[in-house]
Amino acid sequence: DGGITQSPKYLFRKEGQNVTLSCEQNLNHDAMYWYRQDPGQGLRLIYYSQIVNDFQKGDIAEGYSVSREKKESFPLTVTSAQKNPTAFYLCASSIGTEGYYEQYFGPGTRLTVT
Amino acid sequence: KNEVEQSPQNLTAQEGEFITINCSYSVGISALHWLQQHPGGGIVSLFMLSSGKKKHGRLIATINIQEKHSSLHITASHPRDSAVYICAVRGQGAQKLVFGQGTRLTINP
């Protein structure tokens, strides 16, 4: 079955620790995205990647870092510099970044930092 | 003002009712997406449209480009339709989606 996997579903960390969220897709999509969702707010784009070894900042990239060494994988690191890291994180992919391509979403990772 | 506004924010209805969720946007777009997010958090793409109307089962999505407005309709609603419905648009020439805040729909049996 083709799809996007994110692991783990729930993640707990102490303040001051970096944490890496996994996102893997077997859809052969070039573009991948990371979004953050907070209660009562729309999804906000953190980073996106149009192709391997390339990525761009989204609207709220501060305190986050990504890598795209393989087409299938787009891990997100939440660093200790992120002021409010507790949130629901969604990874998505699409064939390309043009408007007529659908985005496919992973199941999400709920990160709690205390 | 947000680029994408959805109404209502919350909607509760009885099983069988006809449901309408609205989305208004302020920029020229290349595509509009309707997404469904279930309580577990996973998001499913329902429709992507740039003009006219699309239908899938009991779901219908329409868009009026001139008025910058889209609607999602659910006919014969069922408790399993309970979810958050999200509208998202991609501006012309833009590489990213802009999301509405979502409409939380609850269908009571």
- pLDDT tier, A47 (very low <50, low <70, confident <90, very high otherwise): very high
Q: What percent of chain A has pLDDT over 90?
A: 80
Residues from chain B that touch A42, judged by Cβ atoms under 8 A, are 2, 4, 86, 88, 98-102
- Beta-carbon separation of B2 and A42 below 8 A: yes
Q: Is the pLDDT of residue A1 over 70?
A: no
Query: What does the pLDDT read at residue A102?
Result: 84
- Beta-carbon separation of B41 and A108 below 8 A: yes
Q: What percent of chain A has pLDDT over 70?
A: 96
Phi, psi of B44 (to 5 degrees): -120, 135
- Beta-carbon separation of B41 and A107 below 8 A: yes
Q: Is the pLDDT of residue A39 over 90?
A: no
Residues from chain A that touch B34, judged by Cβ atoms under 8 A, are none
DSSP output for A12-64: EE-TT--EEEEEEE-S--SEEEEEEE-TTS--EEEEEEEETTEEEE-TT-TTE
CA distance A66 to A22: 10
| pLDDT per position as a tens digit, B54-105 | 999 999 999 999 999 999 999 999 999 999 999 999 888 777 889 999 999 9
